[in-house]
Amino acid sequence: MPVHRRPRPTIALPPASIDAGAEAADSAARLQAPGPWLMMLEGRAPWEWAALLAALPWLRRLPPGDGHPVLVFPGLGASDITTLPLRHFLRGCGYTPYPWRQGFNFGPRHGVLDATRAMVAQAAERHREKVSLIGWSLGGVYAREIAKEQPGHVRCVITLGTPFAGHPRATNAWRFYELVSGQHTDDDELLALLREPPPVPTTSIYSKTDGIVAWQCSLNDPAHPLAENVEVHASHIGMGMNPLALYAIADRLAQDPAHWRRFDAQGARRWFFRTTHEGPLAAASGR
CATH number of the domain enclosing 143: 3.40.50.1820
Backbone angles phi, psi at 217, to 5 degrees: -70, -10
Domain tally, the chain: 1
| Residues of the domain holding 165 | 49-285
The continuous run of DSSP H or E covering 221 comes out as none
Domain membership flag for residue 72: yes
Q: Considering the entire predicted model, what is its pTM?
A: 0.86
Question: What would the pLDDT profile of 133-173 be if each residue is shown by its tens digit?
Answer: 999 999 999 999 999 999 999 999 999 999 999 888 899 98
Question: What would the pLDDT profile of 87-118 be if each residue is shown by its tens digit?
Answer: 999 999 999 999 999 999 998 888 898 999 99
Q: Which amino acid is at 285?
A: S
Residue 71 CB contacts under 8 Å (≥ 6 apart), including other chains:
97, 98, 100, 119, 120, 123, 131, 132, 133, 134, 143
Domain membership flag for residue 16: no
Domain membership flag for residue 8: no
Residue 156 CB contacts under 8 Å (≥ 6 apart), including other chains:
132, 133, 200, 201, 202, 203, 252, 253, 255, 257, 260
